[in-house]
Structure 1
Amino acid sequence: MSNVDEYYTEILRFVKQAGSIVREKIYQHKDVLTKSCDVDFVTEWDQKVEKLLIDGISSRYPDHRFIGEESTSSGQKIELTNSPTWIIDPIDGTMNFVHGLPYTCISIALLINKITEIGIVYNPILEQLFTARKGQGAFLNGAPIHVSSEKELRQALVMLEVGTSRDPEKLKIVLQNITLLTSHVHGIRSFGAAALNMCMVALGGVDASFEFGIHAWDVAAGDLIVREAGGVSIDPAGGPFDVMSRRTLCASSMELAQQLSKILIQYYPERD
């Protein structure tokens, strides 16, 4: 555990350095490239933040492995092994970052033997630092946080996302779920950043969040933060959460999660 303590201290230092880049650049002009489609963006700052984090960790721990959004999009193969592995989204909510909307964050998790030991989600614009260590609780800026006590879907505020995919089948299912949920829940919200959506569940500000088509780097940190805040993280069909499945559902309680899973129209993207 002493090694994990050290890893946690070091990654916080690198995350805060990366956060200063995001904070400085969010309201400036950015050159934008596209990846999978016209609304799947990447900027030079996504790439620079990821490089800062990977270079910083590698300089201290050369045997550690990485799964990063931008390195993966450039062709590196995703492989989750038992080795210490950092799963990194350098800027979750790149669309928001490009437009200057302050709901954007750095998301990073450490998995050892495929078990998440550290989760950090940092929104440097609003100065929200969500942290969790396995078995040690979840925190916002150092203060303990906890999910809501909601167990009834009809009383729940639910986060969801359309996402960047413009696959017609996926869009159809997302819109069907939005229509379906309007008659079953208190309300629906969307921040445009999966990691922040999950952290809102951990904070108790919303009661559940789900998304299809996300990636491991979007959800690895948020999954631990939700669970350490007393919530649950499962597959949207009701089974166990799988960080590589590109599917997530987290909630304040198992009762709420299962109610939501039973009414959702499912979508199964290709795995990471």
Structure 2
Amino acid sequence: MPDNKVPAELPLLDEDYALTPEQIASYQENGHIKLDGVAAPDEIECYEPVIAGYVRQHNHHDKPLRERDTYGKAFIQVGNLWEFSEEAARFVMARRFAKIAAELMGVEAVRIYHDQALFKEPGGGFTPWHQDQLYWPLDSSNTITMWMPLVDVSEEVGSMTFVDGTHKLGYVSRQLISDESHKTIGSYIEGKGLATTSYGALSAGDATFHAGWTIHSAPGNPTESMREVMTVIYYADGTRALNPDSRARENDLKRWLPGVNPGELAVSPLNPVVYQR
């Protein structure tokens, strides 16, 4: 749990970010949206060194890129930074971000599922097609991920590509993120003639939000700069835990919902309410 005091100069990130009815409707129709300037440049300037520092400390990769599998080449992945320090917790628990999540989903309150730093190294590989909620033992479609770059992301690197409307389909494939999921889901997208959206270059502090079932992927990083991204996953308060139907969901239940049994409310010390209307 956090054990550091938060420097007073770190921004609170509690001011409202105004959404339009058209933006909310677009998210609910397509399952994804890009929002400009969710965090201001001076705010990112304060938090980027904090988050990047913890990623460096907790990077588990001990092999060079060329020796890793597709998943390992995709990114450096560090979860629940908010447990490490009050500095990271202030970012992850930000009222501004959580309020956006609640309003896009049209719910009264949201809890944290977990956060993840996803840093794509120079030369890092692509992220295969997948659905996040394949991993989550949550009995609700009201789940959403905020994906925010902490550095400018060029057109060459790009943001994620989303498959429009696929949040309404539920399971498309039960394959975890892998070459196999990329092939299977890619064939499904092509066979169905599904439309895709890529938002291209993003500035630090811009953010995309996507639903748990929305199919998405990300390109590799051909540049010499680290693609630094921080994500926060939210779900509607009142959601119950599912009986895990896979090893991945069993693992997630134990790690991110400790002490919660299937059928019970998805509430543990790791899942605080971060916004309530």
Greater helix percent: which structure? 1
On whether the aligned pair clears a TM of 0.5, the verdict is no
TM-score, length of structure 1 as denominator length: 0.30
**Structure with the larger RCO, 1 or 2 (CA within 8 Å, 6+ apart):** 2
